[in-house]
Amino acid sequence: MKTTTTNLVADVAAAKAERTVYPVLVMISVSHLVNDTIQSLIPASYPILRTSLNLSFSALGLITLVFQLAASILQPFVGAYTDRRPKPYFLVMGMAFSFAGLLLLAFAQTYPLVLLAVVLVGMGSAVFHPEASKVAYLASGGRRGFAQSVFQLGGNAGSSAGPLLAALIIAPFHQERIAWFAVLAIIGMMVLTRVAAWYKAHLIFRAQQTKSIQDNVAPFPRKKVIIAIGILLILIFSKYFYMASMTSYFTFYLIDKFNISVSSAQIHLFLFLFAVAAGTLIGGPLGDKIGRKYVIWISILGVAPFSLALPYAGLAVTSILSVFIGIILASAFSAILVYAQELMPGKVGLIAGLFFGLAFGMGGLGSALLGQLADRTSIGYVYQVCSYLPLLGLLAVFLPDTKKVKKTKA
């Protein structure tokens, strides 16, 4: 116990000395992987649930909507609350909600119980993300973009791994096999208990120090900050609507346009998802070096030439374009999140909750609306419409440059 306490103090001292606390970043990234793996099991289990409970596609859509609402709406409120009253062990509590939701989903024999199960998983995610993002911020040692990228990498890996694990473990068997993944939640709670202890020690350390007034002073006038936050929310809309078109319908687009097999289309989707994972690690560190405004500009508007060309390209070029789109577009979120946190110092949890919540909401809403558009027109038309979304990145020109402000203060 003494060694553990000593390590905690050393890690906290490292963070205060502006040194990146890598063990904490790794643990919070692994926890994000567990959280998002659990989330991704919900849609991956739809074929089994549809058969076992005789559900319609509308009923499955409602499950998605209920989960997304639970995960997105609560997050800003959790973030705002923990900004005022930090709760390190909320991290463990969030994973406990997901644990309970998984077990209930595994043994639910009625549709209302399934809805309750996904609400619990959604609540777990809503509690986890704001505090976990705050831990990444505190452990960054000033490399905030890098820290958020590492944190996001875990989430992207979990989202990609979930369907594969479900295909291997759940699909060949029965609904009850979902309970096996509760082991992941237990591991997540164990890891987060250690993270929460570090977080608590960090808060105690901070309370004993003289607090710098400048740390919580906004770098720009209130009106300018509000406008900038509004622009960032529009850019999140652009990113996640386009991402929804790729993650939900890219395989259908490839099959419809090029008449390829399902397995071949899934390989192309995997390449896109792999590119997304790679892009996640680029945006944050690059923003630390050249300024987050420029990364935001590049990562949203920079997708436009590729997205505009994609609906008219052949199969090989489409695959190449999708890789560039994945890398460039994925670099946006870490830069946007940290930029917003720098615009509103002292509101790290609120900003994390707001932007993660909006990302969840836009992903779910985008999937639903684009599905309706595809039914009424064609899947090819969906990609023609979505190809213009990255042009909203032009709004980034109105964002203030926080890097210049920091240099002026220095």
Percent of the chain beyond pLDDT 70?
A: 88
Buried/exposed code over 308-344 (b: 16+ C-beta within 10 A; e: otherwise):
eebbeeeeeebeebbbbbbbbbbbbbbbbbbbbbbbb
Distance CA 333, CA 343 (A): 15
pLDDT at 34 (0 to 100): 92
pLDDT at 210 (0 to 100): 47
* Pair of tokens at residue 230: 């509004």
Distance CA 222, CA 345 (A): 12
pLDDT at 212 (0 to 100): 44
- Other C-beta atoms closer than 10 Å to the C-beta of 231 total 18
- Other C-beta atoms closer than 10 Å to the C-beta of 92 total 21
Residue 101's pLDDT band, with cuts at 50, 70 and 90, is very high
48-57, 213-222, 301-310: least confident range: 213-222
Across the range 47-74, mean pLDDT stands at 79
pLDDT at 213 (0 to 100): 37
Which of 371, 390, 388 is CA-nearest to residue 379? 371
210-219, 263-272, 331-340: least confident range: 210-219
Give the CA-trace dihedral at 232, 233, 236, 242, to 10 degrees. Answer: -120
pLDDT at 217 (0 to 100): 58
pLDDT at 4 (0 to 100): 57
Domains, the chain, in order of start with CATH, read: 8-208 (1.20.1250.20), 216-395 (1.20.1250.20)
pLDDT at 57 (0 to 100): 63
Percent of the chain beyond pLDDT 90?
A: 30
pLDDT tens per residue, range 225-260: 999 999 999 999 999 889 888 877 888 899 889 998
Which of 138, 79, 115 is CA-nearest to residue 356? 79
106-115, 168-177, 384-393: least confident range: 168-177
pLDDT at 410 (0 to 100): 46
According to DSSP, residue 200 is labeled H
Cα 330 to chain centroid distance, Å, stands at 10
pLDDT at 334 (0 to 100): 84
pLDDT at 383 over 80: yes
Q: Are 153 and 295 in contact (CB under 8 A)?
A: no
pLDDT tens per residue, range 317-353: 999 999 999 999 988 888 888 899 888 888 888 898 8
Residue 168's pLDDT band, with cuts at 50, 70 and 90, is confident
Most confident of 7-11, 127-131, 361-365: 127-131
Across the range 299-327, mean pLDDT stands at 94
